[in-house]
């Protein structure tokens, strides 16, 4: 098998070893064995003076075979601790090889791929090569010498940054950092690599052995200071996680005690990380994200997505301007329509500000900014709409207004133009009720800020054609966002399933739980902020309006508190009014003692129920189990295709901690029966908001998994 995926051919006195394991040359067991088997063959051939290792399919090695890690993280395979570090040992042998080994790197050299490359004696990369150690995105750390060789090549500061943030060095940057010694165009790669191999064999160039480099490593105290700085920068992003600390510990150990001690510590820490629930959760999210764009009966059919090159965006507010920004960044021509010049200029200004912000941060070249703004066409009428491929409506959440807009659009666009709404709460069939275009009407629900947030809910009604849906999914992927296809209902997926999140939080406050204690408990669990801080961010007034729509739609399992009404009447709308559940100095939120008066009024309205005494863990369960329950309803109704889609949507749309695997994966670790029984008890005490749905009850009775 290894001879099939890794082949050897000779170019005179140079052995050319090529990894050929499509699509991206993952470092599977056959590939790993094949590399070292072919190197052994080259060493045994007296006519071979040097070796070049490269990859087919415009890639070197894209990283480990993640499916092998998934089996370990899910418990389907047992981790053999004796084998942890085995690849490191083989790479140490490669680095000590008497015959020089040149790494010819095109495309990806990520994770284990870069670890293999760094064990070579010389690295030639192409202008499009991408080098990095992104293992921390999977809840693990580099496990084949990466925590030791990369700091010795690029310095501890840069190596720590690259590993903790999973960033890549591409082309010229990889050259400047010393990750590669030469950079060439892709068509010159093998010529340059073979030439370098002969120079090394002739003694015209000195082999670079990364484990022996010392000039960039610094002292142990320097390394510890860098790690402390990294902790301060990482801040709350590192809370509840072990793998960043495990990574930094291995780096410091290598600096303080030497390479051999460092790789030993790396292997120990790698094993600890892989056995952690954080790794299981993050590996689950990795595969769930890859599965999310796949829609049975749509993306698996021979449907050619419509080529979308021109898009009209209706509405230049926060959402519309964010959507337009995302489209411009993806190379799409955008017509921005507003009702008058004043609103139009404001919308254009928001788009300009979004892009200028990236220029100032060095993330967008000035000439690229100019090109993007040149693709924007602001207008106050429907002129040229017969040329657009798709329209995305982002006007205010008013049913009559949206219906009128879609009637106008049907007249203004071509019969094949896709009509999308960014609505977050209104039924698509209601929006398109006055048109004859329902087969090409769908939802593209972006999350704010739309040019930043990675999730888009692609909403289909019972009338939406597979072709229109497939085309919308393709556009979202073009925007470098993750599409999650959902069914048509009030609130769609994320807003609907997180509706109980706010409701049960209000119920607990009505039952004596301090709102600031509740927010802190949820934050400490891993959410970016608690439900009350989130309400202030979105706007208490916005929450009241949207909550009213959702409460009406799902009135059979709703809890109504008057706390929101009292804050609304006092014009405490949150951040934008500098006062809501919290008070604000700039964007810094501070508890407000005056909130107690509003809480007291709401408790009185609720009949002053007996106060609850709950631990932080109990608060988290009472707030989040309602989300799990509503997610199960969405699965039962076909609103969500897969449990894993819900996990992706919660992580990307609501900031649910990825290391817990998403809401369904997290609930599954507790068990369907546990969740069901808790909800049943709370249902008896507090009413229908906690009533377990039929889907969850079936899973509990059968002892089935919530994610399979």
Domain-embedded: residue 474: yes
User: Are residues 144 and 241 both part of a single domain?
Assistant: yes
Residue at a domain's end among 275, 297, 320: 275
Query: Which residues are within 8 A (CB) of 26 and not within 5 positions of it... i.e. 6 or more apart?
Result: 61, 62, 63, 64, 65, 66
CA 428 vs CA 134, 312, 422, 545, 693: distances in Å = 40, 19, 10, 18, 25
Same domain, 476 and 533: no
310-360 pLDDT, tens digit each = 999 999 999 999 999 999 999 999 999 999 999 999 999 999 999 999 999
672 and 628 in a common domain: yes
When pLDDT is cut at 50, 70 and 90, the band that residue 236 belongs to is confident
User: Same structural domain for residues 11 and 141?
Assistant: yes
453, 488, 523 — which closes off a domain?
488
pLDDT at 81: 58
Residue 139 near residue 286, CB atoms below 8 Å: no
Q: What is the CATH number of the domain that holds 574?
A: 1.10.1040.50
CATH of residue 110: 3.90.226.10
* Per-residue pLDDT tens digits for 290-311: 999 999 999 999 899 999 999 9
Helix, strand, coil tally for the chain in percent (to 5): 55, 15, 35
3-state secondary structure of 569: helix
Identify whether residues 477 and 534 lie together within a single domain: no
Share of the chain above pLDDT 70, in %: 98
Residues 264 and 397 in one domain: no
CB hemisphere CA count around 136 (13 angstroms): 24
* 513 shares its domain with 478: no
289 in a domain, yes or no? no
- From 488, 512, 544, the end of a domain falls on 488
Residue 608 to residues 383, 504, 511, 570, 592, Cα–Cα distance (Å): 59, 16, 7, 22, 22
Instruction: Tell whether 671 and 643 lie within a shared domain.
Output: yes
Neighbours of 495 (CB within 10 A): 20
Residue 54 lies in a domain: yes
| In a shared domain, residues 474 and 538 | no
- Whether residue 292 is contained in a domain is answered as no
Q: 283 lies in a domain?
A: no
- For the entire predicted model, the pTM comes to 0.92
What is the maximal distance between C-alpha atoms in the chain? 91
Which of the residues are catalytic? 115, 135
On whether residue 281 sits in a domain, the answer given is no
In a domain, 305, yes or no: no
* % residues pLDDT > 90 (the chain): 90
pLDDT tens digit sequence for 47-91: 999 999 999 999 999 988 877 777 766 667 666 656 667 899 999
271 & 324 share domain = no
Range of the domain at 589: 496-702
Assess if residue 284 is contained within a domain.
Answer: no
For residue 327, the domain's CATH number is 3.40.50.720
Q: What's the pLDDT score for residue 72? A: 65
Shared domain for 541 and 684, answered yes or no, is yes
Determine the average pLDDT of the residues in 273-297.
93
In this predicted structure, what is the pLDDT of residue 586?
82
Same-domain pairing of 602 and 568? yes
Q: How many domains does the chain have?
A: 3
């Amino acid at each position: 098998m290894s001879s099939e995926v890794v082949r050897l051919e000779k170019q005179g006195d140079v052995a050319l070893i090529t990894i050929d394991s499509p699509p991206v040359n993952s470092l599977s067991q056959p590939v790993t064995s094949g590399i070292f088997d072919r190197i052994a063959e080259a060493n045994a051939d007296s006519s071979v003076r040097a070796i070049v290792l490269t990859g087919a399919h415009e890639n070197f090695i894209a990283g480990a075979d993640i499916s092998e890690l998934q089996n370990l993280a899910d418990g389907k395979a047992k981790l053999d601790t004796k084998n942890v570090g085995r690849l490191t040992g083989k790479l140490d042998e490669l680095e000590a090889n008497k015959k020089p080994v040149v790494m010819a790197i095109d495309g990806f050299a990520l994770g284990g791929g870069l670890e293999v490359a760094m064990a070579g004696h010389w690295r030639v990369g192409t202008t499009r090569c991408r080098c990095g150690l992104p293992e921390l995105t999977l809840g693990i750390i580099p496990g084949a010498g990466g925590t030791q060789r990369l700091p010795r090549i690029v310095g501890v500061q840069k190596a720590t940054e690259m590993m903790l943030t999973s960033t890549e060095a591409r082309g010229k940057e990889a050259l400047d950092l010393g990750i590669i010694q030469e950079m060439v165009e892709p068509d010159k790669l093998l010529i340059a690599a073979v030439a370098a191999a002969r120079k090394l064999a002739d003694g015209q160039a000195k082999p670079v052995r990364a484990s022996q480099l010392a000039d960039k490593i610094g002292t142990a105290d320097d390394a510890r200071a860098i790690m402390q700085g990294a902790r301060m920068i990482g801040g709350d992003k590192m809370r509840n996680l072990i793998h960043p600390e495990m990574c930094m510990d291995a780096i410091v150990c290598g600096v303080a005690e030497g390479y051999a001690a460092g790789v030993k510590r790396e292997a120990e820490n790698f094993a600890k990380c892989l056995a952690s629930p954080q790794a299981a959760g993050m590996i689950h999210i990795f595969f769930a994200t890859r599965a999310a764009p796949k829609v049975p009966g749509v993306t698996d059919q021979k449907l050619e997505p419509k080529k979308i090159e021109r898009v009209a965006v209706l509405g230049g507010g926060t959402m519309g301007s964010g959507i337009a920004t995302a489209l411009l960044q993806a190379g799409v021509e955008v017509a921005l329509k507003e009702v008058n010049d004043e609103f139009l200029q404001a919308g254009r200004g928001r788009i300009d500000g979004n892009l200028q912000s990236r220029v100032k941060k060095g993330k967008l070249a000035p000439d690229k900014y100019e090109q993007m703004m040149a693709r924007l066409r602001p207008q106050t009428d429907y002129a040229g709409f017969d040329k657009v491929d798709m329209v995305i409506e982002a006007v205010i959440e008013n049913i009559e207004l949206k219906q009128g807009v879609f009637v106008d659009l049907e007249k203004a666009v071509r019969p094949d133009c896709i009509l999308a709404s960014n609505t977050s709460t209104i039924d698509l069939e209601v929006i398109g009720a006055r048109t004859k275009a329902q087969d090409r009407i769908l939802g593209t629900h972006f999350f704010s800020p739309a040019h930043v947030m990675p999730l888009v809910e692609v909403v289909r009604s019972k009338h939406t054609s597979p072709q229109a849906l497939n085309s919308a999914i393709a556009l979202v992927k073009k925007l470098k966002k993750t599409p999650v296809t959902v069914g048509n209902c009030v609130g769609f997926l994320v807003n609907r399933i997180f509706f109980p999140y706010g409701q049960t939080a209000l119920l607990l406050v009505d039952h004596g739980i301090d709102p600031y204690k509740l927010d802190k408990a949820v934050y400490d669990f891993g959410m970016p902020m608690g439900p009350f801080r989130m309400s202030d961010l979105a706007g208490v007034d916005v929450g009241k309006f949207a909550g009213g729509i959702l409460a009406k739609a799902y009135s059979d399992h709703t809890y109504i508190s008057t706390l929101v009404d009292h804050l609304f009447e006092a014009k405490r709308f949150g951040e934008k009014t500098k006062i809501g559940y919290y008070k604000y100095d700039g964007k810094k939120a501070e508890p407000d003692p005056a909130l107690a008066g509003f809480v007291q009024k709401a408790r009185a309205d609720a009949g002053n129920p007996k106060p609850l005494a709950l631990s932080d863990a109990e608060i988290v369960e009472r707030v989040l189990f309602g989300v799990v329950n509503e997610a199960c309803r969405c699965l039962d109704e076909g609103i969500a295709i897969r449990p894993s889609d819900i996990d992706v949507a919660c992580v990307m749309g609501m900031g649910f901690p990825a290391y817990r695997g998403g809401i369904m994966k997290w609930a599954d670790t507790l068990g369907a029966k546990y969740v069901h029984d808790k909800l049943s008890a709370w249902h008896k005490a507090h009413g229908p908001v906690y009533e377990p749905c039929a889907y969850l009850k079936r899973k509990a009775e059968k002892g089935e998994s919530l994610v399979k």
